[in-house]
Amino acid sequence: MVDELQDVARIAGHPKFRRISIFHALNQKATARAYARLANRRYEDLNLVIAHMGGGISVGVHRKGRVIDVNQALDGEGPFSPNVPAHFLLMRWLNFAWEATIRWMK
C-alpha cells in the first residue's frame, strides 16, 4: 500500500473518520513515470493529476513524486465506475452506525 497523503487530505468531514490511501498506486506511479520519460523530465520534478480508469477509478494528485491526495477507490469514494457505484464513505458510515447500535444495545 502507498500512503503519501498530506494531513489535510485525510480530513473526511466528520471527526470520527479519516480518509485513507487505497488506490491504483502501481498504475498511477507507472503512468506518471511514463509521462515524465516522454516529457524528458524527472517524475520527482513534476506536478500531475493522474487518473486510473478501469473497473475502478482513482484520481491522484502527484506532487514532486508523491501522491498527496487521491480518492479511496476500494470503497467507491469518488467517481462511479463500471464495477463500483459512487458513494462517499458509505461503508465507514454504516460501520459507525452499526457499532453505535451495538453500544446502545449493551
Q: Give the span between the Cα atoms of 89 and 18, in whole angstroms.
A: 10
Angle at 17 between CA 57 and CA 66, to 5 degrees: 50
Question: How many other β-carbons are positioned within 10 Å of the β-carbon of residue 56?
Answer: 19
Residues 40-96 have pLDDT tens digits of: 999 999 999 999 988 778 899 999 999 998 887 776 666 666 665 555 566 667 777
pLDDT tens, residue by residue, 77-88? 666 666 655 555
pLDDT, position 55: 76
Per-residue pLDDT, 66: 93
How many CB atoms neighbour CB 80 within 10 A? Answer: 12
Host H or E run for residue 69: strand 66-70
Which pLDDT value is given to residue 43? 97
Where does the chain have alpha helices with state H?
25-38, 90-105
